[in-house]
């Protein structure tokens, strides 16, 4: 009976990613969901984990909540780098509609120094050199809080690399990445311009970053065919464990 009671009260974990039409992006995010599920199964085998989407793909978050065990508390961890529109509107509405079930939405994955460390590692992997000009490329958002989070991540990366880092955006916020690349070339002629990819997975935005005119663009946090970075999985699990405990 005690074990059954523990199963009932342990909150369900709903991993909510953006969704993508790009099969490479889909595979990369699925690898993250699978890795988080394995890690949590080892630490807390009574926890049920499901995956859903806030856009493009199905099942969406409302469907996941409707199909989950009735009345079971749920923790939604957004598999999103910044807490923009999808967190503050889509997920907030899904939580309101799920009442009286208790649903908690955690913070987005960033800014977090563990994620910044992955960005720095990706830069090292693509051959970052002294004298290179670094631009942190974020997806962008109309939400001022999300934009501020990206600038906080840029400050973290600057401290970690001990060099200046410019923050630019692929869409929705300023400065836009192509203009930031052009400005860097103009201000530092002869220097390589290196874009640090602050995106979760490959896909449309990653392709836009590659077309922005930089000399080098690092890989996103997730790379198709590779195991998700342990630090990233750790951030996901910490978000859930903290919310479940609270």
Map out the domains of the chain as residue ranges: 12-109+225-245, 113-217
Tell how strand 49-53 and strand 12-17 pair up. parallel
State the pLDDT at residue 239: 97
Nearest to 205 by CA among 21, 3, 11: 21
**CATH, range 113-217:** 3.40.50.1400
Architecture of domain 12-109+225-245 in this structure: 3-Layer(aba) Sandwich (3.40)
Tell me the whole-structure pTM to 2 decimals: 0.92
CA distances from 209 to 127, 167, 243 (A): 17, 13, 34
Distances (CA, A) of 136 to 35, 61, 62, 202, 220: 26, 30, 33, 16, 11
pLDDT at 123: 98
The two tokens of residue 157 are: 């990366």
pLDDT tens, the chain, 246 aa long: 344 444 446 899 999 999 899 999 999 999 999 999 999 999 888 899 999 999 889 999 999 988 887 778 999 999 999 877 667 777 877 787 777 888 999 999 999 999 999 999 999 999 999 999 999 999 999 899 999 999 999 999 999 999 999 999 999 999 999 999 999 999 999 999 999 999 999 999 999 999 999 999 999 999 998 999 999 999 999 999 999 997
Alpha helices in 44-138 (DSSP H): 61-67, 85, 92-97, 113-125
What φ, ψ does residue 234 adopt, rounded to 5°? -60, -40
Same fold, 12-109+225-245 and 113-217: yes
| Half-sphere exposure at residue 162, Cβ-oriented, CA atoms within 13 angstroms | 2
pLDDT number for residue 9 = 63
Angle ∠(222,165,134) on CA atoms, nearest 5: 65
Distance CA 198, CA 97 (A): 32
Residue 156 and residue 111 in contact, taking contact as beta carbons nearer than 8 Å: yes
Output the CA angle 190-195-196, nearest 5 degrees: 135
């Amino acid at each position: 009976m005690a074990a059954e009671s523990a199963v009932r009260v342990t909150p369900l974990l709903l991993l909510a990613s953006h969704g993508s039409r790009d099969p490479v992006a889909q595979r990369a995010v699925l690898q993250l969901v699978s890795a988080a599920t394995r890690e949590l199964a080892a630490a807390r085998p009574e926890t049920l984990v499901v995956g859903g989407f806030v856009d493009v793909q199905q099942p969406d978050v409302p469907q996941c909540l409707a199909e989950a065990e009735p009345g079971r508390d749920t923790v939604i961890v957004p598999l999103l780098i910044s807490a923009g529109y999808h967190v503050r509107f889509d997920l907030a509405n899904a939580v309101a509609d799920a009442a009286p079930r208790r649903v908690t939405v955690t913070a987005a994955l960033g800014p977090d120094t563990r994620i910044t460390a992955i960005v720095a590692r990706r830069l090292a992997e693509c051959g970052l050199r002294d004298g290179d000009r670094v631009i942190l490329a974020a997806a962008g958002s109309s939400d001022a809080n999300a934009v501020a989070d990206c600038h906080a991540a840029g400050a973290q990366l600057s401290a970690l690399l001990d060099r200046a880092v410019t923050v630019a955006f692929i869409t929705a916020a300023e400065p836009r990445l192509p203009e930031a690349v052009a400005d860097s070339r103009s201000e530092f002629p002869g220097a390589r311009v290196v874009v640090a990819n602050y995106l979760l997975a490959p896909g449309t935005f990653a392709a836009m970053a590659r077309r922005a005119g930089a000399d080098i663009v690092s890989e996103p946090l997730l790379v198709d065919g590779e195991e998700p970075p342990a630090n990233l999985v750790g951030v996901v699990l910490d978000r859930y464990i903290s919310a479940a405990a609270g």
